[in-house]
Chain A
Amino acid sequence: MSPISRGFTGRRRDAPDPSRIPPGQYLTRDFPVLSAGPTPRVDLSTWTFTIDGEVDEAVSWSWEQFLDLPAEEVTRDIHCVTKWSKLDTRWTGVSVDRLLGSVRSEAEYLTAWSDGGYTTNLSREDVADGRAWIVYRFDGEQLAPEHGGPARLLVPHLYFWKSAKWVRGLRLTADDEPGFWEGYGYHNHGDPWLEQRYQGD
């Protein structure tokens, strides 16, 4: 056990409402950028968002078609496995319910995949009933590339690695297949309120 470094607190702030901060987390006001690889260069003229895998018929939208889908504005708290939480983040995007409504599928799992090769796995249940979105605006502005723009997945009730940056599609799967961090030993589900950070937690 390491002794305390006198005067060191990290980047933490006292939360106005501690009940909104999951165990082991601290409040941040900035928006730290975490990245396991280079920020992909994205050409919107060839960008598509695709739902495929175990579906009756795959469906795909161009960037323009995607922006024409009914959008929602949501304000949510987000929690990163590296222990920062950020409250009341504002996003605009399309609900995953709306997108999955375009296909017929019995699959119970899905993999979100991204430009640059990142993947993360989720159960259908975790992205259903207004709990997940594909967002392209943050805080009223176009989503910046370092935060996952042009579009990222938003699943705010799970640790933020599940909210894949630079997302390009959802692949429905019959079996639960670990994504990038899940394959390296992070928790398969990632509920911040249960501190499901790593396998075995």
Chain B
Amino acid sequence: MARAALPGRLTWQFARVVETIAETPTAKTLVLEVPEWPGHDAGQHVDIRLTAPDGYQAQRSYSIASAPEHSHLELTIETIDDGEVSPYLTEELRVDDELELRGPIGGYFVWREELGGPLQLVAGGSGIVPLRSMLAHRAAVSSEIPTRLLYSARTLEDVIYRDELARAGEGVTLDLALTRAWPPDWAGLTGRVDQDTIARVTFAAGERPWVYVCGPTGFVEHVSASMVAAGHPADRIKTERFGPSGTGGS
């Protein structure tokens, strides 16, 4: 237990790219071999640091996509158009390249099977990445914890891990909400995730689920406020907000 949460020195180390997988037109999974990897918990992330020939450096955080039980570390990166780091990772980086990273990081937005459930996951866009680690962990330990995932994406094409999520297994209910466009025969949810959607497709507060919400800042604020309004205690709701960052000079 607590195998990854041990306090200790966090140092930069090297990962080798062993495979890259195109997930969507804009998202790619990097499969990494990290010789000194100490193990992680589902929901944690790593910091990545790039160094240019003249010493210029850029640093960003990325969620871990793989389960602690997987043999390799996986990161899924969504390309930000005017970003500085993500286009490098998705377009330039190749198999056998080395990548400087440190991790695992984070002890707040994590889920372990021992924590129990039910487990309510809510993702906006590439906010699915750490939740996929939780689902994969759940599957790897053959957990029977009742789990629901509400995943909001712009279009079907933008849904990361689509096939894998479709066969997530017994005890997992998936609801996809497409916000921008959807196929004519689409039977899933459409439009922005609102309070009504949340009431219909998430665990009721009375079931005392652990709630994990990850996505763009506006999405997370909106969903977590709706969950609190629906009666979920704030300390059962864990949130992680991301960008779109990378527009600045950091």
Contact = CB atoms under 8 A, between A and B. Distances in A.
Interface of A: 2-12, 26, 30, 32-35, 80, 82-84
B184 interface: no
Given A5-B88, A7-B88, A82 B53 contact: no
Interface in B235-250: 247-250
Interface in B43-102: 49-53, 56-58, 82, 84, 88, 92-93, 97-100
B80 to A, nearest CB: 12
Contact of A8 (B50, B82, B249, B250): B50
A-B residue pairs, 10 tightest by C-beta = A82-B249, A5-B50, A2-B51, A7-B92, A8-B50, A32-B249, A34-B248, A11-B84, A84-B249, A32-B248
A144 B21 CA distance: 40
Interface of B: 12, 49-53, 56-58, 82, 84, 88, 92-93, 97-100, 247-250
Max chain B C-beta neighbours (<10 A), residue from A4, A30, A33, A83: A4
Task: Tell me whether chain B's interface is mostly helix, strand or loop, or mixed.
Answer: loop
Contact of A4 (B52, B93, B247): B52
B52 A30 contact: no
B58 A10 contact: yes
Given A4-B53, A5-B88, A9-B52, A82 B99 contact: no
B92 A82 contact: no
Nearest to B93: A7
Contacts of A11: 84
Contacts of A9: 52-53
Max chain A C-beta neighbours (<10 A), residue from B51, B99, B247, B249: B249
A12 B249 contact: no
Nearest to B58: A10
Contact of B84 (A2, A10, A80): A10
Contact of A12 (B50, B52, B98, B247): B52
B56 A33 contact: no
Given A5-B51, A5-B97, 10 more contacts: A2-B49, A5-B52, A5-B99, A8-B51, A10-B50, A32-B247, A34-B248, A34-B249, A80-B249, A83-B249
B88 A30 contact: no
B190 to A, nearest CB: 32
A4 B56 contact: no
Contacts of B52: 4-5, 8-10, 12
A4 B53 CA distance: 6
Contacts of B100: 2-3, 5
Given A26-B56, A83-B56, A8 B92 contact: yes
A194 B230 CA distance: 57
Contacts of B51: 2-5, 8
B247 A6 contact: no
A83 B84 CA distance: 14
A30 B82 contact: yes
Max chain B C-beta neighbours (<10 A), residue from A5, A7, A8, A33: A5
A148 to B, nearest CB: 15
A122 B100 CA distance: 39
B222 to A, nearest CB: 17
Contacts of A82: 248-250
A104 B219 CA distance: 52
Contacts of A7: 88, 92-93
A190 to B, nearest CB: 15
Contacts of A8: 50-52, 58, 88, 92
Contacts of B84: 10-11
16 contacts: A2-B51, A2-B57, A3-B51, A5-B99, A5-B100, A8-B58, A8-B88, A8-B92, A10-B50, A12-B56, A26-B56, A32-B247, A32-B249, A35-B248, A80-B249, A83-B56
